[in-house]
Amino acid sequence: VASPVLVNGEASASVPALDRGLAFGDGVFRTLLVRGGRALNWDRHFRRLAHDCGALGLPVPREEMLRAEIARVAPEAAIVKVIVTRGVSGRGYSFPTDLTPTRVVAAFPPPEYPPELARDGIRVRTCELRLSEQPRLAGVKTLNRLENVLARGEWFDASIREGLLCDRENRLVEGTFSNVFLGFGATLVTPELTRCGVAGAQRDRIRDLATSAGIACDVRDVPFAELAEADEVFVANSLIGLWPVIAHGARTWPVGPLTRRFQALLEADDAQGR
Amino acid sequence: VASPVLVNGEASASVPALDRGLAFGDGVFRTLLVRGGRALNWDRHFRRLAHDCGALGLPVPREEMLRAEIARVAPEAAIVKVIVTRGVSGRGYSFPTDLTPTRVVAAFPPPEYPPELARDGIRVRTCELRLSEQPRLAGVKTLNRLENVLARGEWFDASIREGLLCDRENRLVEGTFSNVFLGFGATLVTPELTRCGVAGAQRDRIRDLATSAGIACDVRDVPFAELAEADEVFVANSLIGLWPVIAHGARTWPVGPLTRRFQALLEADDAQGR
């Protein structure tokens, strides 16, 4: 039986109490899906992880080592979370340049989302919390995720599956655990993530798939009011795949043709083991 | 020999790898000084900890238990860091309401700052990073401290002891590890922390000491330009005490009378074991 958690390659259920990941959230993470022993969308996950490590000045884990560790914790099907922190240091914010990063690779049971979510779509709400703007960290999946925790804690109505997040200028940015896409006719739009938000590997993939399919996918600022004007809406991440959004308050949408198109494109991509 | 780290009251060098403190920075902390077996400024530290737990919806640790744990790790003189996280949960941002928080109480060697810093003052710079504004977390000492880490990483000149942080509207907010005070004549001013920043227990104490001494201490927005106009400047936290600021770029200040007054007031307060 594989260990569910590896810390720096060793089976372990714990990290050092003085790790900077705990002390300051000084690190980054990714969450991905393993199916049939394959880490789906791996290239983009690793590229994002490398980018995010770079944003914090962390050394990037060797790709082959990471792949091997993921295979150890998730030989078949699982959700895998990869965390890279700056490691253990003294008490203050400053740190020596020669720290050894802490690497956590943890497996969780595969997701069991009811299939009707992807088929029939979900209801969403808008969160009251406004995302703060920090260009130095925008797009980066850091361990500083209290805004997501607070936003996700705003509602308990299980029939609402996701909360949309805006910045203080009332621009639509993302969902609490997903990226958001709007369809206007034959064009897809997803918010720019240069001030806040997390750029998911699934978002990267959808943008690449759009390019390959000759579908325009504009990445730009999206005033929240545009949501109501969209012909179709969906949210996406590496675990849920792609969920159509069919209602926000009184506004409802059909499950649109772009939504179905990208569901099919993602499925085909997964089937090819990418 | 006392254990240097207690996790939930047990001597331990580690925390669960799946703790939400690591995963999301879902927790708060305080750093305080123990001298002669006494946790200095304890009442305000505990009040802040309780307030900050409340801001995240975390149960507040029992005060007597915390005091006992601090005494165990720091029977004589030490820096003590107290961390409270939401505990271990599944993978997502949402969490059940019945989680058991994780409590870390760790001792570090007492600070050894050169005495001339408090006596002669320090040079400071302004950080390029601008603090993001999140009213829901402003003032709260959460485990989401990447902005401080990045800001502290901006300079390596050891002759500059602290970096000042502004928000995007160019208001002075704090130092990377301290709160900042400006003296204008007989009046003290310290920035409002309702949009960003961390409210230190030492800042609370200085405000209380000002009240007791009949010295006005205004808490308000401080445009960065006011720094140059101040008659005197100092930074403070629980570990450094109070350091006069004597230079920022070409602008220099004498060590002013309010600065010396509050150094004396703090010393007297410490001596009385408060």
pTM higher than 0.90 for the full model? yes
Assess whether pLDDT exceeds 80 at residue B213.
yes
Please give the DSSP secondary-structure letter assigned to residue A222: -
The CA distance from B153 to the nearest CA of chain A, in Å, is 6
List pLDDT tens digits, range B86-141. 999 988 999 998 999 999 999 999 999 999 999 999 999 999 999 999 999 999 99
Element (H, E) at B251: strand B251-252
Task: Tell me how long chain B is.
Answer: 274
pLDDT the model gives residue B1: 42
A92 close to B (CB below 8 A): yes
The pLDDT assigned to A90 comes to 84
SS3 B78: strand
DSSP assignments along B92-130, one per residue: SS---TTPPPEEEEEEEPPP---HHHHHH-EEEEEEEEE
Kindly state the average pLDDT of the residues A211-227: 98
Q: What is the nearest CA distance from A115 to chain B, expressed in angstroms? A: 19
CA distance A106 to chain B (A): 8
Listed residue (A263, A202, A217, A254) closest to A232, CA to CA = A254
Rounded Cα gap, residues B248 and B226, in angstroms = 13
Read off the pLDDT of each residue in B25-50 and give the average, rounded to a whole number: 97
CA distance B244 to chain A (A): 20
Q: Is residue A272 predicted with pLDDT exceeding 90?
A: no
Three-class secondary structure of residue A178 per DSSP: coil
Q: Which of A197, A211, A272 is nearest to A43 (CA)?
A: A272
pLDDT tens, A199-210? 999 999 999 999
Q: What percent of chain A has pLDDT over 70?
A: 98
The 8-class DSSP code of residue A171 comes to B
What's phi and psi for A109, nearest 5 deg? Answer: -55, 150
- Rounded alpha-carbon distances, angstroms, from residue B201 to B35, B48, B99, B103, B187: 16, 7, 28, 19, 20
Q: What is the pLDDT of residue B112?
A: 94
CB-based contact (8 Å) between B92 and chain A? yes
Average pLDDT across chain A, whole number? 96
Residue of chain B nearest A131, judged by CA positions: B134
Contacts of A144 in chain B (CB under 8 A): 24-25, 144-146
A13·B16 Cβ contact <8 A: yes
Establish if B71 touches chain A: CB-CB under 8 angstroms: no
Please check the confidence at residue A231 and state whether its pLDDT lies above 90: yes
Task: Give percent above pLDDT 90 in chain A.
Answer: 95
* CA–CA distance, A121 with A235 (Å, rounded to integer): 10
CB spacing of A145 vs B144 below 8 angstroms: yes
- Contact residues, chain A, for B143 at CB < 8 Å: 22-25, 146
% of chain B beyond a pLDDT of 90: 95
Between CA B190 and CA B175 the distance in angstroms is 12
| Strand residue runs (E) in chain A | 5-7, 10-11, 14-16, 27-35, 38-39, 78-85, 102-108, 122-131, 160-167, 172-175, 179-184, 187-191, 217-220, 232-237, 241-248, 251-252
Q: A114-130: buried (b, 16+ CB within 10 Å) or exposed (e) per residue? A: eeebbeebbebbbbebb
- Which of A19, A89, A146 would best serve as a mutation to test chain B binding (most B beta carbons within 10 A)? A146
How many CB atoms are closer than 10 A to CB A65? Answer: 12
The answer to whether B25 faces chain A, any CB pair under 8 Å, is yes
Contact B149 A79 (CB under 8 A): no
Confidence of residue B240 (pLDDT cuts 50, 70, 90): very high
Residue A271 is classified by DSSP as H
Counting one residue from A and one from B, how many pairs have CB atoms under 8 Å apart?
Answer: 171
Residue A18 forms contact with B (CB below 8 Å): yes
Q: What is the pLDDT of residues B182-204, one digit of tens each?
A: 999 999 999 999 999 999 999 99
- Record the tokens describing residue B159, joined without a space: 């002759």
